[in-house]
Amino acid sequence: MSELDEAWALALAEAETRARLAGHVDLAAYLSLRTANDLLRSTGIQWLMSTCERLAAEANRHGAGIQISKDDKHRFRDGNATMVGRLLTLSSGVRQLHIEAGWPRVPRDGVVHGGGLARSNIRHFGIKTANESLLLVTSKGVPRWISLDAPGADQGISESQLQRHITTLLGS
């Protein structure tokens, strides 16, 4: 979590406390929900990024030579909305794999389409057919990514599905 994200979480917690003390029950409930959703979003994005990074590192231990770079202040478009979050770029020779994930932070950014909490795109440079769009949803209070492109997507994205993206990057 970045310093800005930590400051935002602290500001939300303080605003919720002030709203409760002032008797603004509806506002306090909204801020509580916002805080809970932000935690789910952060947790889901952290899992996605750290899993992909770990899979790339494991491939590197077997000689893959994947270059890893990160951007924690990444913005990307999802339809008319702007998602703010993180970008993980994995490079192997001329091949590149971009994993971006985020959510709208302010009203002018728009909304996450599809009823989820956050969006992610897994993009293979030059191999559009291997790209995948993901939606972060909750199931019994637990965040999970589902594919918007694959049949049976409601089962959620697994580590083995992410491994297939690494395999595609490596051309295997």
| Count of other CB atoms within 10 angstroms of residue 150 | 13
pTM: 0.84
Query: Which pLDDT tens digit goes with each residue over 27-70?
Result: 677 666 777 888 899 999 999 999 999 999 999 999 999 999 99
Q: State the pLDDT at residue 156.
A: 82
Query: Which pLDDT tens digit goes with each residue over 130-166?
Result: 999 999 999 888 899 999 987 665 668 999 999 999 9
Q: State the pLDDT at residue 2.
A: 57
Bin 116: left if φ > 0, else alpha if -120 < ψ < 50, else beta.
Answer: beta
Is 9's pLDDT higher than 70? no
Reported as half-sphere exposure (CB side, CA atoms, 13 A), residue 149 has a value of 14
Query: Which pLDDT tens digit goes with each residue over 118-127?
Result: 999 999 998 9
d(CA 166, CA 97): 8
Residue of 75 and 26 predicted with greater confidence:
75
- Please give the average per-residue pLDDT across 11-35, as a whole number: 73
Query: Which pLDDT tens digit goes with each residue over 73-89?
Result: 999 999 999 999 999 99
